[in-house]
Structure 1
């Protein structure tokens, strides 16, 4: 009687756990968290890009450089300068009417080649700002992917831990009643209460993690709606776009570094053209009132030119050469970074697919093991402790499987971002070679068939940049129940 009643209680509780976790799919998570049913990743990227503060700053930089280029088309190197002076003899007390008025206007002249060099530098700065805008767009896409994956995993963990907490509460209540009637021992009751405390702790930590992750997503996107990254389930299509020479040469970070190098070289040319201060030429007039003078007004031309000097030239050339050296260094580092990242992206595509298959198999086997131990406990062949530990391990494996699934979709989408294949992600303002293959975005049902499909072919690591961790390691859902 005691064993059958306790078995009924345990099976009811664990069955509730299994049903609750089975219903906790990604669609239910997003629908419960937001009134909107879904939000595609390209649409979410457009929303995030529209409110990205750096986009406005880079746009201002580009317009400022274009304005400098237009201003450099002037005939003169600067604005006109006015000069004037007045002299009389009242201050020295002679007071014989000796008075002089003098005034003039002058303009600075361009040195040979200086005007065209100034325009080229301004245009190069404008192009560099444009490429930095593309690089920021790509970086924003990566940050949005990272935040979306983190929120998805956090919400899945909330659902699982809440289901565990609810079931542990029911189990503790039933065990308390059974202990009072003498049907179970005090040790079993204490074990159930410990399981409840652990589950409640995990649920509270999961809710905190979900709130923090959602706040990060809202900061980027302006809404808690999670973009549908699970719609990207075609690793072969993503991999075919990772052609090393195409991706590297058209990566916005490499193009931005190239434009920065071109701007630095244009600055060096301008420094060489500015080998001396700009000379000035102008006209002036002198009006004199002097006793017995046969004239009272004179008009003439004035010219001012400072001679070249190392004091003037050396700092300009040194600063320009330093800028070129720094830009070339950054371009080299950017190319290395992109090559390394492509290697990591390809490796992640392979490892994510293998990890998902392994995690799915582990979760399935641990679920079967938990069922077997529950039946054994019903037959009084093992303790309640073993059954609870087995079920806890099964749900921990479910969390690992959820993380592996999210990382698999994230790896595919990250490869498409690197290849510039996301609609709305403008990574190539100039002409670039394109693949003839079509982007395939199958339904999320493809994920369920991962166990039957073979591991996607992945090319050997070749060329490719740093790729940030998309999702942090899952926090432990609690130590095994005592």
Structure 2
């Protein structure tokens, strides 16, 4: 029995080895890489639809700002019929086209705002993709955590089954009482029940992964060496990039509003024709320029809204920067604490396993009662299960640190 217990003892280095991605056998499909998994989730997400809509909106705005006219031309048609002396009448027809003109600098400001909108849409898509990548990563680690639970439950069930068989053999030989066999069988059944629950939880985690990505398998589990150290230089975080792009867009829109202090002036081209019975037709052409006045009633609401948008974007950019700094500091501390806790759990598991082996030897020799051996074995198994969980938790903390840095998995 002591040899059976020793076969399951392992150290912290063994826990760092990656678990199988999906615990599948036979003709299972090859594991996708992280980029493929994120892209698969992105193609199924609402964020992708929103990003496409923002890009189309920016393209439409750029197209409108690139137009030769400030707005759509308008057609004017006027016809007037006049009654003259009895038996005669006249008809006047006037056809015109109104062409809205850009104000000085307005078209360039609108184009700059459209370019800023396109940049903001691209930055928003990158930020949404990073956040979705974090959700994909969390779903994968949830599966790996449940795989660790299944492994621990399987080891526990095997341990208690071996112990139950050994106790049953000794009861038949007359070395132990029937009560010991009942206690050992009860622990064996509890181990089987724990294994069943762990498998169900694993299936649920795998189902959530598939619902998010549409994939049946997981990417390879990243090794701790793949995660940048805490002192690695920061990259431009997509969320910060998005906030900066939105601030630039708000400023460009404010510039466009300041250069659009009146409605677009209109150049009107007209053709006039007059027909009167018994008299020659009268034809003519004309040109008119319509210039709307700038008024506070029109400009103040637009300018105030643009200023408020710029101020809000600036405050949001500052808040995002502060939140990202806080998240990074917290992620660094969590990763360090998780590594230290893993070392502690590994040492605790080693000590309790060594104690369980010694008590098992004493029980085999008839020097210790079964309840004491059961308690020692349970404590050792629980410590090893905690070590497996902490190994996954430490790796997850490292992955979250990578996410806090703005890096894709």
What's the CA shift for 1:51? 5.8
Give the conservation status (yes or no) of the 8 Å contact 1:80–1:107.
Answer: yes
1:356-375 equivalent positions in 2, closer than 5 A: 356-375=342-361
Give the conservation status (yes or no) of the 8 Å contact 2:81–2:89.
Answer: yes
SS of the aligned residue for 1:224 comes to: coil
Equivalent-residue separation in structure 1 for 2:175 and 2:399 (angstroms): 55
Question: 2:7 matched to 1:15?
Answer: no
Question: 2:362 matched to 1:376?
Answer: yes
Partner residue, 1:87: 80
Partner residue, 1:195: 187
Give the conservation status (yes or no) of the 8 Å contact 2:77–2:94.
Answer: yes
Give the conservation status (yes or no) of the 8 Å contact 2:33–2:219.
Answer: yes
What's the CA shift for 1:77? 0.4
Question: 2:65 matched to 1:72?
Answer: yes
Question: 2:307 matched to 1:316?
Answer: no
What's the CA shift for 1:374? 1.5
Kindly provide the CA deviation profile for residues 243-267 of structure 1, in whole angstroms up to 9, marking residues without a partner as x. 3xx44xx212111111100101111
Partner residue, 2:288: 302
Deviates most, 356-365 or 23-32 = 23-32
Kindly provide the CA deviation profile for residues 362-393 of structure 1, in whole angstroms up to 9, marking residues without a partner as x. 11111111112222223344332222222222
Residue correspondences, number: 405
CA 25–116 in structure 1, closer or farther in 2 if over 3 Å, else same: closer
Partner residue, 1:275: 261
What's the CA shift for 1:270? 1.5
What's the CA shift for 1:355? 1.4
Question: 2:141 matched to 1:149?
Answer: yes
Give the conservation status (yes or no) of the 8 Å contact 1:238–1:416.
Answer: no
What's the CA shift for 1:39? 5.1
Kindly provide the CA deviation profile for residues 272-306 of structure 1, in whole angstroms up to 9, marking residues without a partner as x. 22222222221122323223555433322233333
Question: 2:132 matched to 1:140?
Answer: yes
Equivalent-residue separation in structure 1 for 2:78 and 2:222 (angstroms): 78
Give the conservation status (yes or no) of the 8 Å contact 1:257–1:331.
Answer: yes
CA root-mean-square deviation = 3.6
SS of the aligned residue for 1:32 comes to: coil
Partner residue, 2:274: 288
Partner residue, 2:397: 411
Unaligned runs of 5+ in 1: 1-10, 426-482
1:258-273 equivalent positions in 2, closer than 5 A: 258-273=244-259
Equivalent-residue separation in structure 2 for 1:151 and 1:315 (angstroms): 53
Equivalent-residue separation in structure 1 for 2:159 and 2:171 (angstroms): 18
Partner residue, 1:468: none
Give the conservation status (yes or no) of the 8 Å contact 1:172–1:196.
Answer: yes
CA 384–293 in structure 1, closer or farther in 2 if over 3 Å, else same: farther
What's the CA shift for 1:44? 4.4
1:199-210 equivalent positions in 2, closer than 5 A: 199-210=191-202
What's the CA shift for 1:126? 0.9
SS of the aligned residue for 1:385 comes to: helix
What's the CA shift for 1:45? 4.5
Partner residue, 2:105: 113
Give the conservation status (yes or no) of the 8 Å contact 1:172–1:193.
Answer: yes
CA 78–95 in structure 1, closer or farther in 2 if over 3 Å, else same: farther
Equivalent-residue separation in structure 2 for 1:16 and 1:230 (angstroms): 30
- When normalised by structure 2's length, the TM-score is 0.84
Question: 2:23 matched to 1:32?
Answer: yes
Kindly provide the CA deviation profile for residues 340-373 of structure 1, in whole angstroms up to 9, marking residues without a partner as x. 1221232133212211211111111111111122
Partner residue, 1:344: 330
Equivalent-residue separation in structure 1 for 2:272 and 2:195 (angstroms): 91
Equivalent-residue separation in structure 1 for 2:70 and 2:226 (angstroms): 58
Deviates most, 144-153 or 250-259 = 144-153
- When normalised by structure 1's length, the TM-score is 0.73
Give the conservation status (yes or no) of the 8 Å contact 2:152–2:388.
Answer: no
What's the CA shift for 1:224? 3.3
Equivalent-residue separation in structure 2 for 1:141 and 1:256 (angstroms): 16
Give the conservation status (yes or no) of the 8 Å contact 2:9–2:350.
Answer: no
Equivalent-residue separation in structure 2 for 1:396 and 1:77 (angstroms): 73
Deviates most, 18-27 or 200-209 = 18-27
